[in-house]
Amino acid sequence: MAAREIRIAPEIENVALPKSERVPDPAVIVIFGASGDLTKRKLLPALFHLGQQGLLPSNLAIVGVARRNLDFCANIKESIIQFAGGQKEAEALDAFAQKLTYHTMDFDDDDGYTQLKNILEKIDEECGTAGNRLFYLAVAPEYFAGIVRQLGGHGLARSEKGYARIIIEKPFGRDLVSAKQLNDHVNQVFNEDQIFRIDHYLGKETVQNILVFRFANGIFESVWNRNYIDNIQITAAETLGVEGRGSFYEKAGALRDVVQNHIMELLSLVAMEPPISLEADAVRSEKLKVWRAIKPIAIENTVRGQYALGNLDGHQLLGYREEDRVNPDSATETFAALNLEIENWRWAGVPIYLRAGKRLAKRVTEIAIQFKQPPMLFFDRIHMNQDSEIQPNLLIMRIQPNEGISLRFGAKVPGPFTNVCPVVMDFQYATAFGASSASGYERLLLDALMGDQTLFAHRDGVEASWALYTPVLEAWAQTRPRDFPNYPSGSWGPKAADSLIGRDGRKWNNP
Ligand code: BG6
């Protein structure tokens, strides 16, 4: 019998949000890959939101660079209308569109960069952007190195008058060797303090709230260790499939696409020691210590899966191998689960289970912290709900959707017997602070404009994470999965993932 849960409303009134005083200096943002999906769905809506909140300097210009010729301004308005939530008055859209310029060029075309340089100089003169340049590589990873080299070769990696910074999208490399090569290459042109390796998960409010939850509250830190915590589970489940990104995904797979970066960022925030401040170096070095303390992952502690056709919400869905631009015999995993251990004083012996997958039963990203049972339970089963054990305390950090935090504990059911029933205290962001249409890119773009690297990856962190996963990827590459596809769309992944956690006597916390 499923445990009965009683919802307790949070005791928070609507909270007035403080007005930010963070307005960056004038700048030009140069987006490589301006005709692509990321620019359309995330970057332009995020910049528009920032503008609406008064968080952009009035002297701001955006230059879209792409190989495809297109009516950028018309497209921008469309993208914002389609993808930016909240109010979108025509006037605001026009004002935003006026900040934009479009430059068509091939990314390996020398003349194109010479022209770009002239465009930027002209913008500096006309718009007072003070020589500050933020380059954003929203392109496929194979173009990263070439664009960086060209920017260096054309003197665009340094600005005489202001700053030059570069944001590089994930995936940053595809294994340890390629990540090191890319880091070396980028470091030859840009200094580390100019480089912003982006992971959009770090821009999410709920992800940043992990640090606030742990370190701005006195009561959790004392139980945040192996003495009280039984296990930690991190789930990044999507209902979407590869959505037309078949050719990209074929070379990536779930481990590279989500586990090595997004899930590892979540894990580091949950497991790190308190940093001495929120400065980039302080936070990044504590995260690095977590990654470096993870025991090499044994292949028996990993599971991979690939979705087959199935049903979700009454819709018949294709299997991965039937998707556009996917090899009909593909061995790429669309699901990965693993069990790892952090070998340090805080976490030794606490199993950490991670899983990520596409076409799963529900869209949910969450961290579940399960606490140990009390040392003795004197509530005799006879006096409890006949079919249920007393459930351990469970703290859930819901990253998305329905952002919030809940804590499950046992309460006495009113009546003449001592029946224990799990109840849930629930904090919901939307109830407490109002719904937000921010995607995470707002905060990260703002931080990059301000030169704050706290929420961006350092080369050491990227390499530490690849060092951990490269042996798994290599082992997987050596043995072709014989059971693919091995889970129906709309399920919770392959059976082997249940066995992975089940052999430790535990279960996934499927919401
Ligand atoms: C991206 C991955 O980094 O993150 C996608 O490439 C994935 O495959 C996406 O769908 C998930 O992001 P979010 O913010 O929707 O959880």
| Cα–ligand 1 centroid distance for 5 (angstroms) | 31
The residue with tokens 């006949």 is 386
**What is the CA(472)–ligand 1 centre distance, in A?**
21
Task: Report CA(478)–ligand 1 centroid distance (Å).
Answer: 27
Q: Do residues 405 and 395 touch, judged by C-beta distance below 8 A?
A: yes
Distance 494 CA to ligand 1 centre (A): 21
Residue 9: predicted pLDDT: 47
Q: Is the CB of 238 inside a 6 Å radius of any atom of ligand 1?
A: yes
CA dihedral 377, 378, 382, 386 (to 10 degrees): -30
C-alpha 199 – ligand 1 centre gap (Å): 10
Which atom of ligand 1 lies at the shortest distance from residue 240's CA?
10
| pLDDT, tens digit, 9 for 90 and up, residues 119-146 | 999 999 999 999 999 999 999 999 999 9
Q: How does pLDDT run across 276-316, given as a tens digit for each residue?
A: 999 999 999 999 999 999 999 999 999 999 999 998 888 89
42-46, 236-240, 355-359, 374-378: segment of lowest average pLDDT: 374-378
pLDDT of residue 14: 47
- Which uninterrupted H or E stretch holds 180? helix 176-189
| Ligand 1 atom closest to the CA of 170, numbered from 1 | 3
Give pLDDT, residue 380.
59
Is the pLDDT assigned to residue 165 strictly greater than 60? yes
Instruction: Give the CA count within 13 Å in the CB-facing half-sphere of 473.
Output: 21
pLDDT at site 387: 52
Q: Which two tokens stand for residue 260?
A: 């090595």
- 400 CA closest ligand 1 atom index: 16
Asked if residue 18 has pLDDT above 60, the reply is no
Higher-confidence residue of 212 and 389: namely 212
Residue nearest to atom 4 of ligand 1 (CA): 258
Per-residue pLDDT for 19 more than 60?
Answer: no
pLDDT bucket at 444, cuts 50 / 70 / 90: very high
> Is the model more confident about 379 or about 32?
32
For residue 356, is pLDDT > 60?
yes
Q: Which residues make beta-bridge pairs with 356?
A: 236, 336
DSSP E strand stretches across 86-163: 100-104, 133-137
Output the pLDDT for position 74: 67
Predicted TM-score of the model (pTM): 0.92
Residue 72's nearest CA partner among 28, 34, 117, 31 is 34
Cα angle value 330/197/351 (rounded, 5°): 65
Pick the residue whose CA is nearest to atom 8 on ligand 1. Answer: 257
**Sequential DSSP letters for 76-105:** HHHHHHHH--S---HHHHHHHHTTEEEEE-
Asked whether the predicted pLDDT for residue 374 surpasses 90, the reply is: no
- Dump pLDDT digits (tens) for 28-38: 999 999 988 89
**Candidates 257, 261, 436: which one to mutate for ligand 1, based on the most atoms within 8 Å of Cβ?**
257
Portion of the chain with pLDDT greater than 70, in percent: 92
Are 220 and 214 a contacting pair, CB within 8 Å?
Answer: yes
The best mutation among 200, 259, 441 to test binding of ligand 1, ranked by most ligand atoms within 8 Å of the C-beta, falls on 200
Asked whether residue 147 carries a pLDDT value surpassing 60, the answer given is: yes
Q: Cα separation of 507 and 176, whole Å?
A: 32
Residue 83 has pLDDT above 90, yes or no: no
Q: How many residues does the chain have?
A: 511
- Distance (Å) from CA 239 to ligand 1 centroid: 11
Whether 257 lines ligand 1, by a CB cut-off of 6 Å, is yes
pLDDT tops 90 at residue 181: yes
Q: For the segment 409-419, what is each residue's pLDDT rounded down to a tens digit?
A: 988 888 887 88
| Residue positions annotated with a catalytic role | 262
With contact defined as beta carbons under 8 Å apart, do 451 and 192 qualify? Answer: no
Return the bridge partners of 196, or none: 167
Element (H, E) at 338: strand 335-340
Ligand 1 atom at minimal distance to the Cα of residue 252? 6
Measured from the Cα of 236, ligand 1's closest atom is 16
pLDDT of residue 133: 96
Q: Give residue 85's pLDDT.
A: 65
* pLDDT grade for 86, boundaries at 50, 70 and 90: low
383 pLDDT above the threshold of 60? no
pLDDT band of residue 434 (cuts 50, 70, 90) is confident
pLDDT higher for 271 or 432?
271
Residue nearest to atom 2 of ligand 1 (CA): 257
